[in-house]
Amino acid sequence: MIQAFKDFSAKNDAYQTALYISKHSGIVDLFKAEGTPEAEARMENITSLLDGIQEFVEDDELNINEEFSTDKSLAKFLQSISLMTDADDDKTDVDTITLMSVHAAKGLEFKSVFVTGLEENLFPSYQSLSTPDQIDEERRLFYVAITRAEIYLVLTYANSRYQFGQMRFNDASRFIEEISEENIDAITSISREESKPAFGEPKLLGSFKKQLAAPKIDPSQFKPSPPESIKTGQKVLHLKFGEGEVTHIDERQVATIVFPHATDSKEKRIVLQFAKLQIIG
């Protein structure tokens, strides 16, 4: 078994190796057979870990001053996690961030609170969408989350994220749109139904302008072109950033591409070896 794993990991990337471990270790079947809420939570943790590894493997963007590497092995992933953990252990700075679930935040208060992952099928979760009672329970949890803030409250959601090993495009949570306009100090307007109720006094800062997001792409219709066929001047399609134009390709086969719909920096450096780009013009 150990030798089989070594042979498999030597030929495959971090995601395939982690998937191999989760299947052949029997841990997934064990939690499924247990069928308790605790086992289900552990299953979700495994899924989140696999999604994180998948994102590491498929990350084709090279940041400024980032070391160029083609190593996508599980060992490289664990090394990157170890480096982040070491940074977290640095206690030289007084200011710290407390990361916790909404359940764990009950009874606590903080000067600033960031509520993340406010997307349909995530918060509220897809499991709660079947009955009004479950939706109401998650709405109460959302109320708990936003009332933990003494001064500053930031609500965020991702236009796209990896879920179950696939890139998913989710809409913003209904809970954001249920906040009445008079309780929001936003840079841009938020799409809402006027009849939905409000949540009290806190003022929310931020922009939820959906049209800034890259157009949603159906992964089933997306057909990546061979990396060697990508040339300067071409129009390409990227699952995460949308349409873009290749402006430069260096000797390492790192392409500079301008994505007009990107919500942060419009210019991205994409490693063609790992890129999934579809030539469209």
Q: Are residues 49 and 120 in the same domain?
A: no
CA distances from 258 to 72, 178, 218, 222, 224 (A): 25, 35, 21, 19, 18
Whether 102 and 42 have beta carbons less than 8 Å apart is answered as no
CATH number of the domain encompassing residue 140: 3.30.160.800
What percentage of the chain reaches a pLDDT higher than 70?
79
Cβ-in-10-Å burial (0-12, 13-18, 19+) of 278 comes to middle
Domain membership flag for residue 108: yes
Choose one of 172, 196, 212: the last residue of a domain: 212
Q: Is the pLDDT of residue 140 over 80?
A: yes
Q: Which helix (H) or strand (E) holds 58?
A: helix 37-58
CATH number of the domain encompassing residue 261: 2.40.10
Q: Are residues 10 and 67 in the same domain?
A: yes
What CA–CA distance (Å, rounded) separates 236 from 259? 9
Query: Is the peptide bond prior to 124 cis by the omega test (within 30 degrees of 0)?
Result: yes
Domain membership flag for residue 228: yes
Q: Are residues 138 and 201 in the same domain?
A: yes
**What is the residue-averaged pLDDT of the chain?**
79
Q: Are residues 186 and 241 in the same domain?
A: no
As a whole number, mean pLDDT of residues 238-247 equals 90
Choose one of 212, 227, 256: the last residue of a domain: 212
Q: Are residues 184 and 261 in the same domain?
A: no
Structure confidence by residue, pLDDT tens digits, 257-275: 999 888 778 899 999 988 8
Q: Are residues 159 and 64 in the same domain?
A: no
Output the DSSP codes for 62-106: --TTPPP----SHHHHHHHHHHHHHHHT---SS-------TGGGT
Tokens of 119: 């997307």
User: What is the per-residue pLDDT for 255?
Assistant: 92
Instruction: Name the band, by pLDDT with cuts 50, 70 and 90, for residue 194.
Output: very low
Choose one of 194, 212, 230: the last residue of a domain: 212
Q: Are residues 171 and 265 in the same domain?
A: no
CATH number of the domain encompassing residue 44: 1.10.486.10
Domain membership flag for residue 98: no
Whether 173 and 157 have beta carbons less than 8 Å apart is answered as yes
User: What is the per-residue pLDDT for 241?
Assistant: 86
Mean pLDDT check: name the lowest of 19-23, 63-67, 158-162, 227-231: 63-67
| Nearest alpha carbon to residue 260 among 214, 217, 216, 218 | 214
β-sheet bridge partners, residue 271: 254
Instruction: Name the band, by pLDDT with cuts 50, 70 and 90, for residue 208.
Output: very low
Q: Are residues 161 and 228 in the same domain?
A: no
Whether 44 and 2 have beta carbons less than 8 Å apart is answered as no
What percentage of the chain reaches a pLDDT higher than 90?
19
Domain membership flag for residue 93: no
Q: Are residues 39 and 117 in the same domain?
A: no
Q: Are residues 176 and 241 in the same domain?
A: no
Question: Which residue segment(s) compose the domain that 109 sits in?
Answer: 103-212
Structure confidence by residue, pLDDT tens digits, 73-126: 888 888 877 665 555 555 555 677 888 888 888 888 999 999 998 888 888 887
Domain membership flag for residue 70: yes
Domain membership flag for residue 265: yes
| DSSP one-letter code for 24 | H
Q: Are residues 107 and 201 in the same domain?
A: yes
Q: Which helix (H) or strand (E) holds 111?
A: strand 110-115
Phi and psi dihedrals of 22, rounded to 5? -65, -35
Domain membership flag for residue 95: no
Domain membership flag for residue 96: no
Structural domain total, the chain: 3
